Structure 1
Amino acid sequence: MLNRKLLAQEIESLPPELVTEALDFIRFIKASHLQRQSKPETNLDTDTLRGSKAKDLLEFAGSWSGDDIRECLQLVHDTRMPLQP
């Protein structure tokens, strides 16, 4: 409870123009916390994708469904940039 009292004191001492900013920040923290708790660990988010390794993607191996894999692969080959030395 001490932290709540300290937080309330800090809020009380804020200049009026910062109260809205503090409120927005608290709402952001709450929403972020709720989002992390509601997501199963298997869901991919932006942070997960940035650090992805091939081994992280193995769970999806063999999961292609459809008959257009060859066309998709050809599209990748046709549109990718050439390697630069």
Structure 2
Amino acid sequence: MNVIERVARVLAGQFYSRNAGGTEEHAADLVDREWPHFAADALAVMKTLREPTAEMAAAGDSASWHRMVEAALEDARTKTANSLH
């Protein structure tokens, strides 16, 4: 599971699950089915995270963070492209 799917599943869970503000008491099957509809939002979140905040940069290596997020985005692009063939 790539990072886009992971984030999309969290977003779907938040949307559907009663535990997070949704209406479904048991949302797991719904999340399994519907997470792809949240992939664009997940991609937007990951693109936003490419650049660390000042607090994040002060706590660690900004260049490494940027490379890790870019690697996750590239992995998602590759898997998406491969699924279209």
- TM-score normalised by structure 2 residue count: 0.33
Which structure is richer in relative contact order (CA contacts within 8 A, separation 6 or more)? 2
User: Of Structure 1 and Structure 2, which has the larger fraction of its residues in helix?
Assistant: 2
Q: TM-score, structure 1 length as denominator? A: 0.33
Larger radius of gyration: 1
